[in-house]
């Protein structure tokens, strides 16, 4: 196939928090590069996932969930990061949850109308519907909201109906040579992914509010030997939070470390020695400079 016949372009995955964008990205590229948890705001960065098949290279951009309230600097960063992708993507996938449409979706749709990008709606989590009869009137309701290229019910969890979604996106992409090698699936570093896998376990294991007050910074990443050595600092905002992360007699931190190490080993397919420390950095999530120093930088 010649370069003139191939298609290549950027596709943004946008939606409210916890709608399944990261799970959808992982399923579409066939590999886990974006962490998932049953809590909003798990995704904090734009992550590129590359899917190359059938003459098309789709460059998926996973984004933090867009939300209406932006009280802290971290919340504002998440909204800026999600919104910034609209300046360069070719197509937008608006990910919504089946039978759910509210103020967040209306707000996102207003932003998309300003950006004037083609939109495909992916109605996620249809596998959770015991009764599918309300789905058709819901799809009809959504179709009246704007002019969409397509509206496709899918399930990121089961993989249901993802092929029609991929086909609709590939057709909408510009004719262009591939931007990356056929076998590349992301541009993020393993160092970044290691930090994210640690934060994923923290988000899954800790109580509801605490995950939003912590972040992970990799201080050591040495893969020169047979065993990959990783040293990570878990930053929290208050001394009391440090005790919660460590847990009674260190049990919570040990559980986080064990599960994170196993996840990193699966990613690298190599033995990993992981050390973690918990430190306090007061108010980091509401400090623009602190956010930048910890790697929270909005793409240009």
Q: Does domain 3-172 have CATH number 3.40.50.300?
A: yes
Burial class from Cβ neighbours inside 10 Å (0-12, 13-18, 19+) for residue 180 reads: middle
Give me the long-range contacts of 250-259 (CB less than 8 A, separation at least 24). 252/205, 252/206, 253/278, 255/201, 255/205, 256/198, 256/201, 256/202, 256/205, 259/201, 259/205
Please work out, in degrees rounded to the nearest 5, the angle formed at the alpha carbon of residue 195 by the alpha carbons of 189 and 198.
140
pLDDT at 206: 86
Compute the distance between CA of residue 238 and CA of residue 70 in angstroms, rounded to an integer.
21
Collapsing DSSP to helix, strand or coil, 221 comes out as: strand
Q: pLDDT band for position 217 (50/70/90)?
A: very high
Question: By three-state DSSP, how is residue 49 classified?
Answer: strand
The answer to whether 284 and 294 have CB atoms below 8 angstroms apart is yes
Determine the CATH number of domain 190-293. Answer: 3.30.300.20
The predicted model gives 264-282 an average pLDDT of 95
CB atoms within 10 A of CB 114: 9
How high is the pLDDT of residue 219?
95
pLDDT in tens, 60-82: 988 765 555 556 666 666 666 66
The pairing of beta strand 272-280 with beta strand 7-14: unpaired
Q: Which of 50-54, 98-102, 173-177, 281-285 has the lowest mean pLDDT?
A: 281-285
Mean pLDDT of 181-190: 92
Give residue limits of the domains in the chain: 3-172, 190-293
- Give residue 4's pLDDT band: very low, low, confident or very high (50, 70, 90): low
E strand intervals along 190-261: 215-222, 228-236
Instruction: Please state which of the ranges 68-77, 101-110, 167-176, 264-273 shows the lowest mean pLDDT.
Output: 68-77
Residue 3 has pLDDT above 60, yes or no: no
Q: Which residue has the higher pLDDT, 75 or 183?
A: 183
Q: What is the mean pLDDT of the chain?
A: 87
Token pair 């990799």 in the structure block, residue = 218
């Amino acid at each position: 196939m010649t370069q003139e016949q191939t298609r290549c372009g950027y596709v943004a995955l946008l939606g409210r928090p916890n709608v399944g964008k990261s799970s959808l990205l992982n399923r579409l590229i066939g590999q886990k590069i974006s962490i998932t948890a049953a809590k909003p705001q798990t995704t904090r960065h734009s992550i590129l996932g590359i899917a190359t098949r059938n003459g098309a290279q789709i460059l998926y951009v996973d984004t933090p969930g867009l939300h209406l309230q932006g009280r802290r600097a971290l919340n504002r960063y998440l909204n800026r990061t999600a919104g910034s992708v609209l300046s360069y993507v070719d197509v937008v996938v608006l990910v919504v949850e089946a039978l759910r449409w509210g103020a967040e979706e209306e707000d996102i749709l207003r932003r998309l109308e300003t950006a004037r990008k083609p939109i495909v709606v992916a109605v996620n989590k249809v596998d959770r519907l015991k009764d599918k009869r309300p789905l058709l009137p819901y799809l009809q309701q959504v179709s009246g909201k704007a002019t969409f290229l397509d509206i496709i019910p899918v399930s990121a969890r089961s993989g249901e109906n993802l092929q029609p979604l991929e086909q609709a996106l590939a057709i909408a992409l510009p004719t262009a040579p591939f931007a990356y090698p056929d076998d590349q699936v992301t541009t993020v570093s393993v160092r970044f992914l290691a930090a994210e896998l640690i934060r994923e376990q923290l988000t899954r294991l800790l109580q509801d509010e605490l995950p939003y007050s912590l972040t992970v910074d990799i201080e050591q990443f040495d893969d020169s030997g047979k065993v990959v050595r990783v040293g990570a600092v878990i930053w929290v905002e208050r001394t009391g939070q440090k005790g919660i992360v460590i847990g009674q007699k260190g049990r919570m931190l040990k559980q986080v470390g064990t599960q994170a190490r196993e996840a990193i080993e699966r990613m690298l397919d190599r033995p990993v020695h992981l050390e973690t420390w918990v430190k306090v950095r007061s108010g980091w999530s509401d400090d623009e400079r602190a956010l930048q120093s910890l790697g929270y930088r909005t793409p240009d």
